[in-house]
Amino acid sequence: MASASSPETFRGAARWAIYDVGHTAFSMLVLAVLFPILFNRFWSAPGAEPSEKTLAYSLTLAAASILVALLSPLLATVAQRGGLRMKFFRALAGTGIVGMTALAFVGEGFQHAASLIYVVSAVGFFGANLFYDSLLLDVAAPAKRHVVSGVSFSLGYLGGVLLLGAVVLWTQGWDVLGFSERPPARALFVFGALWWLAFALPLLLRKETAPAGTPGSAAARERGGFLRAAKEEFSALRETFAALLRERRTRLFLLAYFCYIDGVHTVITSAVRYGNALGFSEGDLFAALFVVQLFGVPCAAVFGLLGKIFGAKPVLLCAIAVYVGVSFYGAAMPTGTVGLFGFDVSPMFVLAALIGMVQGGVQALSRSFFATLVPAGREVSFFGFYSMIGRCSTILGPLLIAGVAAVFPAGEDGLFSTRAGIASLTLLFLAGMILLTRVKRAPAAKGAARP
């Protein structure tokens, strides 16, 4: 393997990191911005109540996440053992790109078609990300992996800002240029798919390489064909899972992570639709997303520094506690302006700033804290499960919101059940905090950052 400073490795790391700019198109346009709004206004059944729309949307998110969760353990094992990683990565990324394009052609009122295409494209997106994460071990030497991974996060945030700018130009630019009519907003799905493909091409063209020390699938196929390879993959999966269960600290952390990161991701995927249901303008919602992205870049770095000084666990607990406040504030959020430092601002901006302050920090410190708990020789396989949970954890949150929307009355304004659903997310954050407090920190190696 080339050194981390060699031209070959630098190019490989650059190809890998740039992909984060591309797949941000799905995160931003499908998960955060356009799909939630179009599902509510364009694809939902005519005459549906807000609570019915909330139920349908939340079940769509949950269905996609459950399917990815069922597929991901095996995909993570294949990613570790090598041989098929790039083929699976190309197939899944291609599925996501094609599915994203297909959303542009779903007509008004076709809620079930939109839901089905979303589920398929989400499986492609999250499945491809499992393999994408595993490639970090190939493109960067151990001493460089935190830097390369951090650069990819930064590029992803930058891609989000640029894509939000493209959305604003698309929605406002046609009028400025004097066009009497403009293409439908869902055409942005085509733009986003092309954006994803363009930045994915360098990585999609990468040759297959198996990670060191994992003979895995390819050798098994040569010895006994596909069935033998599949048997070995399932055997390796069982062995990895058994090893994970034996590690109490790792087991407890992953349970905690599953709870609180599910809440984090549910906030990400539901925020725009929730703001839309409360009657905030699209301009306010897009501006709020800009605030999240802009706050995320510096605050993630600050949280990393605080984790180094005070230890990752206490700082992570503080960040999750902020999310408890975010859930309560979001549930009770007024629909008018609020006074802040002598200015009248949209409450969505306050909520966005709070989210942006802790979102990147939770992601960064979760990964670095988990790294201190992984036993030597299990790095790839354990991080495969960590990545699986992180990518698939939008299950409990949508189900909580959907359950509350189905049980609680809509209220006079039709929004009580929706607000109650947002408040219910505090249960996930509190459960995550309780479990995290029970995780004993691993002894720090000499010269290493505090766990």
Residue 153: give its domain's CATH number: 1.20.1250.20
Query: Considering only CA atoms, which of 256, 228, 206, 205 is closest in space to residue 439?
Result: 256
What pLDDT is attached to residue 157? 79
Residue 206 and residue 292 in one domain? no
Tokens linked to 271:
């925020």
Collapse the DSSP code of 451 into the 3-class scheme (helix H, G, I; strand E, B; otherwise coil) and give the result.
Answer: coil
Q: Which amino acid is at 158?
A: L
- Rounded CA-CA distance 221/230 in Å is 9
Report yes or no: 354 and 292 within 8 Å, Cβ to Cβ.
Answer: no
The CA-based angle 137-119-354, given to 5 degrees, is: 70
d(C-alpha 22, C-alpha 160), whole Å? 9
**Do residue 143 and residue 95 come from a single domain?**
yes
d(C-alpha 285, C-alpha 322), whole Å: 21
List of E strands, 191-337 = none
The whole-angstrom separation of Cα 383 and Cα 397 is 23
CA proximity to 15, closest of 101, 113, 139, 109: 139
Both tokens of 14, joined, read 């650059």
Greatest extent of the chain over all pairs of C-alpha atoms, in Å: 73
Element (H, E) at 339: strand 338-340
| Rounded-to-integer distance, Cα 391 and Cα 410, Å | 32
CA distance 294 to 282: 18
Handedness of CA 234, 240, 241, 242 (dihedral sign): positive
Name the DSSP letter for residue 210: P
Residue 344 is classified by DSSP as E
| 149 and 280 both lie in a single domain | no
Half-sphere exposure of 363 (CA within 13 A, CB side): 24
Give Cα separations from 396 to 237, 324, 429 (angstroms). Answer: 24, 16, 11
Shared-domain flag, residues 137 and 263: no
How far apart CA 199 and CA 203 sit, in angstroms, is 8
Q: Are residues 96 and 206 in the same domain?
A: yes
Tell whether 352 and 428 lie within a shared domain. yes
- Structural domain boundaries enclosing 201: 1-210
Give the whole-angstrom CA distance, residue 286 versus residue 263: 21
pLDDT, position 6: 45
- Helices and strands (H and E) in the chain: how many: 17, 2
CB 254 within 8 A of CB 386: yes
Q: What is the pLDDT of residue 26?
A: 96
Instruction: Indicate if 219 and 316 belong to the same structural domain.
Output: no
Residue in the structure block whose two tokens are 């960064």: 364
Say if residue 262 is in the same domain as residue 157.
no
**Same domain membership, residue 282 and residue 220:** no
User: What confidence score (pLDDT) does residue 94 get?
Assistant: 97
Q: What is the pLDDT of residue 386?
A: 79
Q: Is residue 230 located within the same domain as residue 285?
A: no
Q: Are 156 and 229 contained in the same domain? A: no
In sequence order, the 6+-apart residues with CB closer than 8 A to the CB of 260 are 320, 323, 362, 428, 429, 431, 432, 433, 436
What's residue 2's pLDDT?
44
DSSP-derived secondary structure letter, 187 = G
Radius of gyration (C-alpha) of the chain in whole angstroms:
22
- What 3-state class would DSSP assign to 340? strand
Tens place of pLDDT per residue across the chain (451 aa): 444 444 447 788 889 889 988 999 998 899 877 898 899 888 988 877 887 888 888 889 888 888 887 787 777 666 656 567 788 899 999 999 999 999 999 998 899 999 999 999 999 998 888 788 777 767 766 666 666 776 777 788 788 888 888 887 887 766 665 555 666 788 999 999 999 999 999 999 877 665 444 555 555 545 544 456 556 667 777 777 787 778 888 899 999 999 999 999 888 878 877 888 888 887 788 788 888 888 877 787 777 778 777 877 898 999 999 999 999 998 888 877 776 776 778 888 889 999 988 887 788 788 777 777 877 666 656 776 777 787 666 778 888 888 888 887 766 666 788 888 889 999 999 999 999 999 986 555 444 445 5
Q: 414: which DSSP letter?
A: S
Q: Which amino acid, 146?
A: H
Q: How far apart are CA 50 and CA 45, in angstroms?
A: 11
* Residue in this structure with the two tokens 């179009």, named with its chain if needed: 38
Please count the structural domains in the chain.
3
Q: Specify the DSSP element, H or E, that contains 338.
A: strand 338-340
In this structure, the number of other CB atoms found within 10 A of the CB of residue 253 comes to 24
CA distances from 361 to 73, 175, 258, 313 (A): 26, 39, 16, 12
Q: How far apart are the first and last CA of the chain?
A: 29
**Domain match, 177 and 231 both:** no
User: Cβ distance 296 to 268 under 8 Å?
Assistant: no
